[in-house]
Amino acid sequence: MQNTVVTPTDLKTALIEIRQTAAELYRFTEKLTLLKMVHHVAIQVIKSVDNLQKELKKPLTGADLFVALESSKSVLFLEEVVDADTMSDLEDYILSFTKKLDDEDLTQFLSEVMDKVETKYNSMLEKTHEFNALIKDELE
**What per-residue confidence (pLDDT) applies to 71?**
82
**What per-residue confidence (pLDDT) applies to 23?**
98
* Cα 21 from chain centroid (whole Å): 8
> Is 73 a member of any domain?
yes
Q: Tell me the average pLDDT across 92-111.
A: 86
> Is 2 a member of any domain?
no
**pLDDT grade, residue 66 (50/70/90)?**
confident
Q: Tell me the average pLDDT across 95-121.
A: 90
CATH of residue 57: 1.20.120
> Is 3 a member of any domain?
no
**What per-residue confidence (pLDDT) applies to 97?**
79
> Is 108 a member of any domain?
yes
Tell me the pTM. Answer: 0.90
**pLDDT grade, residue 1 (50/70/90)?**
very low
Higher-pLDDT residue of 64, 4: 64
> Is 1 a member of any domain?
no
> Is 41 a member of any domain?
yes
> Is 42 a member of any domain?
yes
What tens digit of pLDDT does each residue of 26-57 get?
Answer: 999 999 999 999 999 999 999 999 999 998 88
Task: Please say if the pLDDT value at position 116 is more than 80.
Answer: yes
DSSP secondary-structure letter at 60? Answer: -
The C-alpha atoms of residue 108 and residue 120 are separated, in whole angstroms, by 19
**What per-residue confidence (pLDDT) applies to 24?**
98
> Is 18 a member of any domain?
yes
Count of the separate structural domains present in the chain: 1
Query: Which domain covers residue 134, as residue numbers?
Result: 8-139
